[in-house]
Structure 1
Amino acid sequence: MYKISILSAVYQNEENIIELVESLYQRVVKPLKKEGILVEVIIAEDGSTDNTRAILQRLKKKYGMKLLLGKKRLGCIKAVKNLYSKASGELIFFWDGDGEVQPVSFWDLYSVFKKGNFDAVVAYKQNRKPRFRYLISRINNLVLRILFHVRIRDANAGFRLYKARIGKELVRESNFLKYNFNSEQIIRATKYGYKIGDVGVTHFARESMMFKPDRMVEAVLLAFWELVRFKISPYRS
């Protein structure tokens, strides 16, 4: 018998968090427990100003999950690092709490993970919308392939499954890339020779996540420059 730690960081998600957590428990946690697998769910609420925190506290009473509640906003990277440090399972499943990928897609990752004996499996979003976000993702991953020999299709996707020892190591060491935090983990995993797989999952576009193209272009340029700087930095040490 082994244990899976299910982690998520959420922020300003009062509209979707009930549906997502209930789906997680009914379609992922409950079936895993039926298979005799131990499960812990840890969710970090990162200083939301809407009702996300209050909703999570009600859900905790219903499901018994662990909550990490900060007094102020830490930012995504610090929240994720804190989550990984608290995980106690042999496997770590991290899912984005934004609803763009449903928790049930865990099974797609889990199936590939077991069949391929991977150290990590990362989701890539199929039929991604809007179209310009799909194109930006393709360009970003082409850059990662050229600069760092990363072979998976969406290294910056947050929806992923790790062997816990490896996931903790990669997250702990990833300190340099603000716009490519998830990609930095995969860059390091590639460098260390870990076996990495990927699998396509259904994408559900959220209106609140549809940034204006001009803002997106600025972010992409910053992310690209960050990767170039990282390439010539002593990150390999």
Structure 2
Amino acid sequence: MTSDRASAASSGDALGRVVMVVPTYNEVDNLAWIVGRLRVAEPDVHVLVVDDNSPDGTGKIADELAAADEAVRVLHRTEKGGLGAAYKHGFRVALDAGYDVIGEMDADGSHQPEQLHVLLDALRDADLVVGSRWIPGGSVVNWPFHRELLSRGGNLYVRLLLGVRVRDATAGYRLFRRTALEAFDLETVESTGYVFQTDMVTRCLRLGLRVREVPIEFIERIRGDSKMSGQVAVESLRRVTTWGLRERRDQLATRWRRR
């Protein structure tokens, strides 16, 4: 066992039971590949696949993986409800199952299971760990310039408007302690799309929880179609703007009352 793997094993032991929630929609070419890599990289980490009724047979592949490995479980949802809705469902099931650490990971291979030990180690003194592309040591592979510009610009907008210090608030490779998720009512989280990631980071910071970023190498998918679109980006921008303006309004109202 290498020193990195030994470190990951010891941190996993100290953290308790760990599960990675993996939402899927039309990932038939990727799911078995990524789950297999995760089970090899971190044998003690469980997997919860949340499939949004994929028409391409992803759900069937997930069932086959679960039948062959007791550490893999599948939730079948009846419709494509969005990334945030899938994560909320998975989080509730994982909390009810008693997991101590609940993580997020994409099914397309962009989040490398072999780097999960870095997040596990960082969680020893944090409540939420974010695998970041935009801090020193982080990187992206095979992204066109406009995609990187969109992500960097979106995160800058989030920092300026919401006042959060996290450099990659939109990142989807992360680990929560169960106590972090229990600190607020998941039912009050209304974000169902990709802006869910920003929403969750912001809520943790507002509650004074310890949020850490660690660098990861993000690799653009090589199979299947990305779920990110211009419409998704516009919706995220709209929601962040609404939150930011509401917060500025509340701050001004508080200052006025103090006069």
When normalised by structure 2's length, the TM-score is: 0.77
Quick check: 2:85–2:193 contact (8 Å CA) kept in 1? no
Q: Corresponding residue for 1:181?
A: 196
Alignment of structure 1 residues 135-150 onto 2, 5 Å:
135-150=149-164
CA deviations on 1:64-112 (whole Å, 9 max, x unpaired) are 2211012333332221111000112111122111221122221111122
2:58 to 52, 64, 74: 52
CA deviations on 1:107-160 (whole Å, 9 max, x unpaired) are 11112222xx01111012312512212111111111111122211221111110
Rounded to whole Å, the distance in 1 between the matches of 2:24 and 2:131 is 19
When normalised by structure 1's length, the TM-score is: 0.84
User: Please, what is the CA RMSD of the aligned residues?
Assistant: 2.4
Amino acid in structure 1 at the alignment position of 2:117: W
1:194 to 185, 189, 209: 209
Quick check: 2:37–2:113 contact (8 Å CA) kept in 1? yes
Rounded to whole Å, the distance in 2 between the matches of 1:60 and 1:106 is 21
Q: Does 1:226 pair with 2:239? A: yes
Rounded to whole Å, the distance in 2 between the matches of 1:123 and 1:56 is 25
Rounded to whole Å, the distance in 1 between the matches of 2:192 and 2:159 is 16
Which protein shows a greater Rg? 2
User: Where do 5+ consecutive residues of structure 1 fail to align?
Assistant: 34-38
Alignment of structure 1 residues 121-160 onto 2, 5 Å:
121-125=129-133, 126-128=139-141, 129-160=143-174
Question: Bigger shift: 56-65 or 125-134?
Answer: 125-134
Rounded to whole Å, the distance in 2 between the matches of 1:189 and 1:113 is 14
Rounded to whole Å, the distance in 1 between the matches of 2:166 and 2:112 is 20
User: Where do 5+ consecutive residues of structure 2 fail to align?
Assistant: 1-12, 134-138, 251-259
Q: Does 1:164 pair with 2:178? A: yes
Amino acid in structure 2 at the alignment position of 1:187: T
Identity %: 23
Give 1:174 shift. Answer: 2.2
Q: Does 1:90 pair with 2:100? A: yes
How many residues were matched structurally? 223
Rounded to whole Å, the distance in 2 between the matches of 1:51 and 1:221 is 30
Question: Bigger shift: 147-156 or 68-77?
Answer: 68-77
Rounded to whole Å, the distance in 2 between the matches of 1:9 and 1:211 is 12
Q: Does 1:102 pair with 2:112? A: yes
Distance 1:60 1:176, change over 3 A: closer
Q: Secondary structure at the match of 1:139?
A: helix
